[in-house]
């Protein structure tokens, strides 16, 4: 009797993660990583959509009230986290956490549209292995102003999410 495909996939994922954790701690495993270029192989996301495209470039929707991505990193230490985002809601508050620690809180007085965006470059502490980048927001499609006519709980768009070793 063959194992169901989901069990085989889970087993392979576990082997990859365990192998990653036992790799030597060298900078070869801590290179710059771009979410949009390597989303499928480096990040595991919950509440962040697959990349979409418009006239201003690629982006992903972060869903509210919480969106997170897990990423694998080969060495403990400081990492520069580059984030670009557009908020469609005036008065939106977006809090950023890394491994459960609050690292930034952004309040948008006005909605952003088109090429207008907020860019951040934050130096954060990463540990060797799995790290969690989490966004929490007060407004998403529960707000009186809905984004498009979309039924998803759209909160804001991520236009950049890049990790750079320091």
What is the structure's pLDDT at 22? 47
Half-sphere exposure of 119 (CA within 13 A, CB side): 7
What is the structure's pLDDT at 137? 93
Domain parsing of the chain, residue ranges: 26-165
What is the structure's pLDDT at 61? 92
CA dihedral 42, 162, 53, 69 (to 10 degrees): 50
Kindly tell me the sign of the dihedral angle through the C-alpha atoms of 120, 125, 130, 133. Answer: negative
What is the structure's pLDDT at 89? 86
Ranges in the chain, pLDDT < 50: 15-16, 18-29, 40-41
What is the structure's pLDDT at 71? 86
What is the structure's pLDDT at 55? 87
CATH no. for 26-165: 2.60.120.260
What is the structure's pLDDT at 155? 92
Q: What's the CA gap between 82 and 159, in Å, rounded?
A: 10
- Give 124-144 pLDDT, tens digit per residue: 999 988 899 999 999 888 766
Taking CA atoms, 109 is separated from 33, 69, 112, in Å, by 31, 26, 9
Full-model pTM: 0.77
Instruction: Look up tokens 């790799």; give the residue.
Output: 23
């Amino acid at each position: 009797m063959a194992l169901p495909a989901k069990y085989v996939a889970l087993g392979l994922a576990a082997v990859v993660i365990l192998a990653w954790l036992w790799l030597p701690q060298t900078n070869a495993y801590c290179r710059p990583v771009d979410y949009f270029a390597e989303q499928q192989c480096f990040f595991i996301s919950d509440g962040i959509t697959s990349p979409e495209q418009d006239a201003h470039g690629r982006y992903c929707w972060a869903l509210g009230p919480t969106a997170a991505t897990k990423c694998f990193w080969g060495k403990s230490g400081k990492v520069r986290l580059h984030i670009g985002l557009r908020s469609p809601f005036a008065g939106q508050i977006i809090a950023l956490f890394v491994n459960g620690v609050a690292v930034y809180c952004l309040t948008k007085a006005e909605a952003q549209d088109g090429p207008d965006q907020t860019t951040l470059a934050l130096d954060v502490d990463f540990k060797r292995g799995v790290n969690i980048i989490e966004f929490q927001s007060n407004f998403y499609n529960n707000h009186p102003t809905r984004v498009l006519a979309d039924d998803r709980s759209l909160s804001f768009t991520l236009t950049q999410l890049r990790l750079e070793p320091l």
